[in-house]
Amino acid sequence: MFDSIACRVFHLDRGRGAETVAISVGRPCLIGESDGEWVCEIRIEDPSGTAVRPTYGIDSLQTLRLAVRLLEVTVEALQVQYGHSITFVDDHDLL
């Protein structure tokens, strides 16, 4: 189950009415009874669907930092994909 601890919603204006793109980071979780391996997922919801991507680390802080970095890269990719049609609070600076 995805347990979101932070989310940002972007507005997408492609002339098709109000659309949104949401990115979320989940709560880091210890993987089972493993030797200290942690996972932290990010979720991207856009008009084409939902994708969940995991990051792994040796502790909760490392996996959270990796997830935030993956979110940054994902937002950069969204800017390339959608160009100036994607904004956050009427600004093209998304982070």
Task: Domains for the chain: give ranges and CATH numbers.
Answer: 4-87 (3.30.160)
What is the average per-residue pLDDT within 3-21?
87
What is the average per-residue pLDDT within 12-16?
80
The whole-model pTM stands at 0.81
Among 11, 86, 94, 3, CA closest to 52 = 3
* Residue 7 · residue 21 · CB < 8 Å: no
* Residue 87 · residue 52 · CB < 8 Å: no
Tens-digit pLDDT profile for residues 34-77:
678 999 999 999 888 999 999 999 999 999 999 999 998 988 88
Q: Which two tokens stand for residue 66?
A: 């990796």
Confidence of residue 95 (pLDDT cuts 50, 70, 90): low
Classified as helix, coil or strand, 68 is: helix
Residue 32's identity, in one-letter code, is: G
